[in-house]
Chain A
Amino acid sequence: MSDVPAIELRKAGARRGDYNILSDVSFSLPEGTVTFFMGVAGSGKSALLKTAAGLRPPDSGEVLFRGTSLARMSRKDEAHFRRVSAFVFQDAALWANQSLFDNLALPIRVHEGGMSKAEVERAVRRAVELVGYEEDLRIRPSDLSSGERRIVGLARSLVLDPELLFMDEPFSNLDEAAIERVSGIVAALKERGRTMAIVTSQSEFAGRYADFVAVLGGGGLKAFGSYEQAVGWEDASVRSVTGRLRRRRAEPKSATAWGLAGAWAEALAEDKAVLESETKVPEKKTKDQGEATLGDIINAVPDEDEEEDRGVAAEGGGNET
């Protein structure tokens, strides 16, 4: 595991108008760890997650991805950051004017412009199978229930097999089967050494998967520490959030998680074999984890000009205006 954290916030602040949502928040997310962000409603959890994910620039302080400030990143580095990270939105945030297939295919078209139609379809199919979505992909998001939209939103975030995943309330507003599925995906991602930052108000899942726990409140970070430390926190306002966390006993890994991790590895191996047989694959880059991602298999990171020239080989984005 690298010493440089995957994500680091240094005195980051977020404001809305004259109102301070967060101020002076500092922490780091080590590579390959799962951090749960908890707090009462309105404590700024989502704002913090979006700040950490580079979706809203901090009003003060800075956010670093593997040691490089997001604000000072070159185009190429930013493209790489977006390629290896993904965000699961609380309300799915699917593009309403595009089919589900195009919603899922857009990240691939953006970052893997050289992929053939068949390869894009294969990657999309793998992502929807992973989340257990079985309906037609030609329909638009408005034809789905909110729970289904969230499942498809999760599939979109997984379509490029990200190394870093930001998830905003991934377990809420889902039926039990879907919750179990999402829980299994989190377990499988953890098994595969992915870095995750998860906002949740359900301590049960933090109890299962957290390596680190952060508690937000009063416009800042009230507590941040390992799961073992979090169980022992005594501050009353922090305990009101983390009070249900218990010392962890060794639990057998769930069959779903094992199944998903195995299926995932198999799917990646299958993709790799198919791609190698169809195209000449560039030299694979070495990863800290020593494990190849789909991106490594398909393409090395292009140079800046190439990135700019390729652009978004997408067909959607709008619209009826």
Chain B
Amino acid sequence: MLDRLGRSVRRKVGDFLYALGFFLDVVKESALLFRRKQVGFKVLVMQILFTGVEALRISAVTAIAIGAAINLIGTSLLSEFGQSQVMYTMLIIIITRELGPLLTAFIVTARSGTAIATEVGGMVVAHEIEAYVSVGVNPVAYLAAPRLLGVVVSMVVLTIYFNFFGLLGSFAVVQLIKPIGIEEYFRNLAAVLRPGDLGMGILKAFVFGLIVSVVSLYRGFSVERSSTEVPVAGIRAVGSSFMLIIVADAVLTAMQYAG
């Protein structure tokens, strides 16, 4: 019993150290990506296309719907307390600081996280990763680094895009309840918007992008032999990413308010 427990703890510690080493390696190779001319440049472009550009539609629809819902709930609730003027502050806080990065991260995890984990896992099973090593290509530099950068860049851009459409969705509801000009609406928002709100949103997007990409790559590279491990890697990539994103969100929010 104790022996089994000890082995389990040792394996968990080993796995954690391996994951930490993998994270540092991917980050290091990503930092050096542009020094290594043309390494995986096409992979980077394709990743931005898939993770960022192809997710624009779903992000826009989600953002508009969420923005509208927040406005509807906020308007009815705040007016009961005579606090309707707080609506703009609430929109900025909820959309730019919280839901923008969080929902964008969920979208990116669901689309790109699973795709990265299953694709890399499939490459491991087909011995394609070993083939890269055999010809002198570092798989982390060639496959992982451009994917990490692609996901992080896409996350930041998509979050800004989400914020804009979320506030636009809210504007649509405002038009139904108490029509105002779009200039006035955005002027009111700008009046309560602080650089810290935008900064925190972007910081969260950056951190969540790191989490999604590293976790998905790690899960993909962790596949060992069987093709049945590939979908499992996809599922684990989503589960671990969601959990870490939520924890990171709580930590960053706590840091902002504590600071």
Binding site for B on A (CB under 8 A): 16, 50, 53-56, 78-79, 82-83, 85-87, 89, 91, 93-96, 106-107, 110-111, 156, 308-321
Contact = CB atoms under 8 A, between A and B. Distances in A.
27 contacts: A16-B224, A55-B133, A55-B134, A87-B130, A91-B127, A93-B126, A93-B128, A93-B130, A94-B131, A96-B126, A96-B128, A110-B136, A111-B136, A156-B135, A308-B35, A309-B35, A309-B36, A312-B38, A312-B142, A314-B40, A317-B40, A317-B42, A318-B43, A318-B46, A319-B43, A321-B47, A321-B51
Given A93-B127, A93-B130, A312-B36, A319 B119 contact: yes
B219 interface: no
Given A91-B126, A320-B119, A110 B135 contact: yes
B30 interface: no
B143 A310 contact: no
Contacts, number: 112
A310 B112 CA distance: 29
B137 A106 contact: yes
Given A82-B136, A96-B123, A312-B142, 16 more contacts: A50-B130, A56-B130, A78-B136, A82-B135, A83-B136, A95-B131, A110-B137, A111-B135, A311-B36, A311-B141, A314-B39, A314-B142, A318-B146, A320-B50, A320-B115, A321-B51
Contacts of B127: 89, 91, 93
A256 to B, nearest CB: 26
B37 interface: yes
Interface in B12-67: 35-40, 42-43, 46-47, 50-51
A270 to B, nearest CB: 24
Contacts of A89: 127, 130-131
B139 to A, nearest CB: 9
A312 B35 contact: no
Contacts of A85: 134
Secondary structure class of chain A's binding surface, majority of residues: loop
A308 B133 CA distance: 16
Q: Quick one: which of A82, A95, A312, A314 has the most chain B CB within 10 A?
A: A312
B97 interface: no
Q: Quick one: which of B112, B116, B131, B133 has the most chain A CB within 10 A?
A: B131
A93 B127 CA distance: 5
Given A93-B126, A312-B38, A321 B134 contact: no
Interface residues of B, number: 34
B147 interface: yes
List 5 A-B pairs, minimum CB-CB distance, nearest first.
Answer: A82-B136, A311-B36, A321-B115, A93-B127, A93-B131
Contact of B37 (A16, A91, A313): A313
B143 to A, nearest CB: 6
Given A319-B46, A321-B147, A312 B119 contact: no
Contact of B137 (A87, A309, A312): A312
Given A96-B128, A312-B142, A317 B43 contact: yes
A269 B42 CA distance: 35
Contacts of B50: 320-321
B37 A311 contact: yes
Interface string B129-162: 0111111110001110011000000000000000
Contacts of A55: 130, 133-134
A107 B116 contact: no
Interface string B168-181: 00000000000000
B212 to A, nearest CB: 12
B118 to A, nearest CB: 8
Nearest to A159: B135
A89 B133 CA distance: 12
Interface string B70-112: 0000000000000000000000000000000000000000001
A94 B132 CA distance: 10
Nearest to A106: B135
B40 A318 contact: yes
Q: Quick one: which of A50, A91, A106, A317 has the most chain B CB within 10 A?
A: A317
Contacts of B116: 321
B36 A318 contact: no
